[in-house]
């Protein structure tokens, strides 16, 4: 099966780990398409998302490691098994491409006509979305077997942003869903979903999120294998919501509620350690 990986940045560890994992399983992508690192729109988006301080420190860490003689560090330690090969660590998607022998292209917009032309040249059966733009219909219709996404929450209960945090606050078990992307936000048919068994071992929300990403990439490999064998069928989402609100989409969580989600994680951990 010809699988193309879409990425939000050349430096995205999630995309690097996804491509590396798939290649390690024998599914070497015909190509990967990433948003450019120095694209103005993307930089502005990151600046707005992270704020100036986090933005500059992240850029410094990625572009100018403090000590060049040292090996590059991995932001998400749970991805190390995918990012470390033959004693070296992949710093970006191009290094993964060079190692496994697949091309990496960059673009300003994954929906643009040039991006679509590039994707057509790769003739993908399946596209894995590991980050980037909101995908439009022409791109979604391009691969023969659709575009799939790793969502860090159980669908259909938790759609949208900050899924791990919302899962904790709304008492939905943390987990991941591998699903097709359609025109809505996390509304496509579900291929597989898994509760994450070790959620309550996590010390922080960041750790939970990082572990979920690694868990999702691991499960993605299994699902892709099953898709190849035609051993998995997509299940359309039925939003059996309780009537408290028109849908199950969640949005960016306010910091105060993130604090409560953190407490929830700690309380659940304590309950687990002291069951009575």
Q: Where on the chain is the footprint of another protein (CB under 8 A)?
A: 44-45, 47-49, 161, 166, 169-171, 242, 244-246, 249-257, 260, 263-264, 267
> What is the distance between the alpha carbons of residues 167 and 164, in angstroms, rounded to a whole number?
5
**Shortest distance, CB of residue 164 to another protein, whole angstroms?**
14
Minimum distance of another protein from residue 33's CB (angstroms): 21
As measured in angstroms, the least distance from the Cβ of 225 to another protein is: 32
Nearer to another protein, 89 or 264 (CB): 264
Residue 156: asked if its preceding bond is cis (omega within 30°), the reply is yes
Q: How many CB atoms lie within 10 A of CB 136?
A: 14
Residue among 147 and 253 whose Cβ is closer to another protein: 253
Task: State which residue, 104 or 253, has the beta carbon closest to another protein.
Answer: 253
Q: Which residues contact 93 (CB under 8 A, 6 or more apart)?
A: 5, 7, 10, 11, 12, 15, 16, 19, 32, 34, 104
Distance of CA 206 to the CA centre of its chain: 14
Min CB(110)–another protein separation in Å = 15
Q: How far is the CB of 53 from another protein (least distance, A)?
A: 13
Question: What letters, b where the CB count within 10 A reaches 16 and e where it falls short, cover 256-274?
Answer: eebeebbebbeebeeeeee
43 CB-near residues (< 8 Å, 6+ apart): none
Cβ(1)–Cβ(148) below 8 Å: no
Distance CA 118, CA 219 (A): 28
- CA distances to 65, 72, 73, 87 from 69, in Å: 9, 9, 12, 15
Nearest 10 degrees: Cα torsion 131, 135, 139, 140: 100
Question: Strand, coil or helix: what is 6?
Answer: strand
Q: Which is nearer to another protein, 45 or 121 (CB)?
A: 45
- Beta carbon of residue 258, minimum distance to another protein (angstroms, whole number): 10
* Closest by Cα among 110, 78, 85, 96 to 208: 78
Beta carbon nearer to another protein, 26 or 246: 246
- Report the nearest approach of another protein to the CB of residue 219 (Å): 25
Is the CB of 116 or the CB of 169 nearer to another protein?
169
Nearer to another protein, 77 or 259 (CB): 259
Q: Which is nearer to another protein, 48 or 71 (CB)?
A: 48
Is 196:211 a contact under the CB 8 Å cutoff? yes
Minimum CB separation from another protein for residue 163, in Å?
A: 13
């Amino acid at each position: 099966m010809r699988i193309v990986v879409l990425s939000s940045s050349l430096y995205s560890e999630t995309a690097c780990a996804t491509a590396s994992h798939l290649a390690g399983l024998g599914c070497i992508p015909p190509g990967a398409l990433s948003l450019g690192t120095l694209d103005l729109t993307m930089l502005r988006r990151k600046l707005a998302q992270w704020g100036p301080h986090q933005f500059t420190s992240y850029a410094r860490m990625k572009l100018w490691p403090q000590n060049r003689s040292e090996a590059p560090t991995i932001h998400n330690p749970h991805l190390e098994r995918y990012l470390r090969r033959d004693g070296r660590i992949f710093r970006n998607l191009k290094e993964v491409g060079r190692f496994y022998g697949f091309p990496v292209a960059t673009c300003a917009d994954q929906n643009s006509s040039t991006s679509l032309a590039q994707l057509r040249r790769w003739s993908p059966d399946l596209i894995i979305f590991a980050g980037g733009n909101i995908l439009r219909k022409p791109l979604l219709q391009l691969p023969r077997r659709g575009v799939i996404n790793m969502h860090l929450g159980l669908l259909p209960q938790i759609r949208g942003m900050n899924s791990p945090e919302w899962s904790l606050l709304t008492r939905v078990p943390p987990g991941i869903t591998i699903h097709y992307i359609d025109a809505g936000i996390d509304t496509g048919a579900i291929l597989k979903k898994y509760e994450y068994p070790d959620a309550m071992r996590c010390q922080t929300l960041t750790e939970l999120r990082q572990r979920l990403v690694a868990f999702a990439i691991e499960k993605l490999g299994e699902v892709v294998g099953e898709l190849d064998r035609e051993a998995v069928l997509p299940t359309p989402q039925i939003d059996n919501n309780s009537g408290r609100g028109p849908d199950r989409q969640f949005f960016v969580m306010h910091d105060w509620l993130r604090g409560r989600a953190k407490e929830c994680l700690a309380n659940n951990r304590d309950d687990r350690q002291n069951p009575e």
